[in-house]
Amino acid sequence: MKHPNLTIQAMFDPAQFATLGHALIETLVQHLEANLSGASKVLDWQDPASEDLHWQAPLPHRPTLDQNALFTKLESILKHNLAIHHPHNMGHQVSSPLPLAALCDMVAALTNQAMAVYEAGPSATMLERQVIRWLCALINEHTWGNAGGVLTSGGAQANLTALLVARQVTLSRHPKSHNIWREGATDALKLCILASEHAHYSISRAAGIMGMGTDSVIKVATNKQGQLGVNALIKAHQAYVKNGAIVMAVVANAGCTPSGSIDPLLSIGEYAQAHGLWFHVDGAHGASTLLSSLHRDRLKGISLADSVVWDGHKLMYMPAAISAVLFKEEQHSFAAFNQEASYLFQGESHQDETFNTSYRTLECTKRMMALKLWAAFSMYGIDGMGSLVDEAYVKAQLFAEKIKALPQFELLMWPETNIVCFRYLEVGLIPDLLNQHQSKIRQHIIQSGEFHLTQVDLHGLTWLRTTLMNPFTTAQDLDDLLKAVNDASQASLAN
């Protein structure tokens, strides 16, 4: 170590950790308070290309910051990030995380339990198993009695894992089956996935990764409520079977990405069961509806699924990333990756590897994700966690009512979860220009830093899209957003 004041001992010094830690908590407390009060901008918009230049610095061979300078820099980093706890943050499906969960993530970081195998994180493994049991019990305590699964870093990866299992299991039941994991795909078998046209892009990305081609995902039409049409599904199924294709999974949404719509899980599940099809529910967004005693019936039929994906960093108010991929039959979870790696796995059978979670995940090393969810469930109970979902869903209804009451706005549909899509109907604009107008409104608003919202294209129309999941967004904030949209519309026309 060449720098005179820096020793390896100092880098790990518990006393210095305490000093830095207390100062860090103070900074974060102030940040949280400022965010929650809505005093600052929700986004301090800067052009990314000039920001990129601003950030460039030579490789720091020697220390360039002391503690004070680090905190000054940290304050600037916090200021220039999206203010996630701000009441005007209504954009992406990302939670304003529970502070308790953020603290747990610090424990995960410091203790760095690699989790690949049991011995690299004994308590971490047990916490994960407990959280998985709780999530499965929320789906159905009885019919999901043999269920199991794993935590992964994100819903996209969880969907890939579930679809790998779906393919392996479907092919193992097929007369022309072969071990696709070992032998690879052959031209003889034409596989496809039937999914809602609103399925998240991670479904077709998974098909691409799996070598099936993204065209193998057959997009089934939805109704006006954004829900997959069962008749359209049946027709697609019959047509593809007639053409000699093997349908390896039916994918339904429990909260689709564009509009939060929930597919008719019961009818789809019954159809899938009757025809021996793997039924996957992508509940990354909306599986948390199960936490709410008021709304859980909306997911009726989810227990018919063979696999379910459920994100913690959405409506379970966890910091990213924590996702669960759950299987009704735990044994299926071993089918995703038939990996041999003697330096990690020494078991004779899958069951011997039950406690070595990386046997069933794409990740080898992964973070101790379960602690934060386990702590939140334990400290707030399902009732407490469910109240967060209730709050979000009530707010979405309220916002929809406000939009419906104003003639210059069009509501896409009554929200089924907490995503509300709408557009501003500027008189006299032809359809293409009206679409562009929505984008201009959004750009104007997010660059002003007043609100954060997103947009989505559906059937040729562009919609403004809000995800109402910040418990501190008030009715007044919603009125203010509609006014901001009005004002942005006028400003965009004037430019």
One of 35, 89, 93, 288 touching ligand PLP (CB under 6 A): 93
Candidates 98-106, 148-156, 299-307, 342-350; binding stretch for ligand PLP (CB under 6 A): 148-156
Q: What is the DSSP letter of 364?
A: S
**Residue (290 or 485) nearer to ligand PLP, CB:** 290
Residues 6+ apart with CB under 8 A from 183: none
**Residue (321 or 385) nearer to ligand PLP, CB:** 321
Helix, strand, or coil here: 462?
Answer: strand
Give the nearest distance from C-beta 462 to ligand PLP in angstroms.
Answer: 19
One of 323, 333, 417, 454 touching ligand PLP (CB under 6 A): 323
Helix, strand, or coil here: 106?
Answer: helix
How many CB atoms lie under 10 A from the CB of residue 49?
A: 8
d(CA 189, CA 405): 54
Q: Which of residues 386-425 bind ligand PLP (CB under 6 A)?
A: none
d(CA 239, CA 489): 46
Residue number of the CB closest to ligand PLP reads 155
From the number of C-beta atoms within 10 Å of its C-beta (0-12, 13-18, 19+), residue 333 rates as: buried
Structure-block tokens of residue 375 = 């702590």
One of 257, 418, 435, 467 touching ligand PLP (CB under 6 A): 257
Fill in the amino acid letter for 92: H
Strands 323-327 and 148-152: antiparallel
Helix, strand, or coil here: 183?
Answer: helix
- Per-residue contact flags (x/-) with ligand PLP for residues 273 to 302, judged by CB under 6 A: ---------x-xx-----------------
Candidates 101-109, 152-160, 207-215, 265-273; binding stretch for ligand PLP (CB under 6 A): 152-160
**Residue (356 or 454) nearer to ligand PLP, CB:** 454
**Residue (159 or 288) nearer to ligand PLP, CB:** 159
DSSP states of 428-448 as a string?
T--HHHHHHHHHHHHHHHHHH
Residues 6+ apart with CB under 8 A from 279: 249, 250, 252, 268, 269, 272, 273, 304, 305, 306, 307
**Residue (253 or 358) nearer to ligand PLP, CB:** 253
Residue 294 and residue 267 in contact, taking contact as beta carbons nearer than 8 Å? no
Q: What is the DSSP letter of 265?
A: H
Q: Is residue 200 close enough to count as binding ligand PLP by CB under 6 A?
A: yes
Give the nearest distance from C-beta 197 to ligand PLP in angstroms.
Answer: 13
From the number of C-beta atoms within 10 Å of its C-beta (0-12, 13-18, 19+), residue 300 rates as: middle
**Residue (156 or 373) nearer to ligand PLP, CB:** 156
Candidates 108-116, 166-174, 251-259, 348-356; binding stretch for ligand PLP (CB under 6 A): 251-259
d(CA 272, CA 190): 19
d(CA 188, CA 205): 22
Give the nearest distance from C-beta 196 to ligand PLP in angstroms.
Answer: 10
Residue 191 and residue 248 in contact, taking contact as beta carbons nearer than 8 Å? yes
**Residue (154 or 449) nearer to ligand PLP, CB:** 154
Give the nearest distance from C-beta 203 to ligand PLP in angstroms.
Answer: 8
One of 87, 97, 121, 155 touching ligand PLP (CB under 6 A): 155
Residue 323 and residue 157 in contact, taking contact as beta carbons nearer than 8 Å? yes
Give the nearest distance from C-beta 159 to ligand PLP in angstroms.
Answer: 6
One of 154, 390, 429, 491 touching ligand PLP (CB under 6 A): 154
Candidates 217-225, 226-234, 253-261, 425-433; binding stretch for ligand PLP (CB under 6 A): 253-261
Q: Which of 255, 296, 304, 260 is nearest to 278 (CA)?
A: 304
Q: Is residue 353 close enough to count as binding ligand PLP by CB under 6 A?
A: no
Candidates 5-13, 154-162, 299-307, 387-395; binding stretch for ligand PLP (CB under 6 A): 154-162
Residue 220 and residue 411 in contact, taking contact as beta carbons nearer than 8 Å? no
Q: Which of 117, 129, 135, 169 is nearest to 336 (CA)?
A: 169
One of 105, 128, 197, 311 touching ligand PLP (CB under 6 A): 311
Candidates 130-138, 150-158, 417-425, 458-466; binding stretch for ligand PLP (CB under 6 A): 150-158
Residues 6+ apart with CB under 8 A from 17: none
Q: What is the DSSP letter of 143?
A: T
Q: How many residues bind ligand PLP (CB under 6 A)?
A: 15
Give the nearest distance from C-beta 412 to ligand PLP in angstroms.
Answer: 16
Give the nearest distance from C-beta 359 to ligand PLP in angstroms.
Answer: 22
One of 131, 151, 156, 246 touching ligand PLP (CB under 6 A): 156
Structure-block tokens of residue 144 = 């999901």
Give the nearest distance from C-beta 104 to ligand PLP in angstroms.
Answer: 18
Helix (H) or strand (E) holding 151: strand 148-152
- Per-residue contact flags (x/-) with ligand PLP for residues 37 to 66, judged by CB under 6 A: ------------------------------
Q: Is residue 492 close enough to count as binding ligand PLP by CB under 6 A?
A: no
One of 89, 161, 170, 202 touching ligand PLP (CB under 6 A): 202
Q: What is the DSSP letter of 327?
A: E
The footprint of ligand PLP (CB under 6 A) covers 93, 154-156, 159, 200, 202, 253, 256-257, 282, 284-285, 311, 323
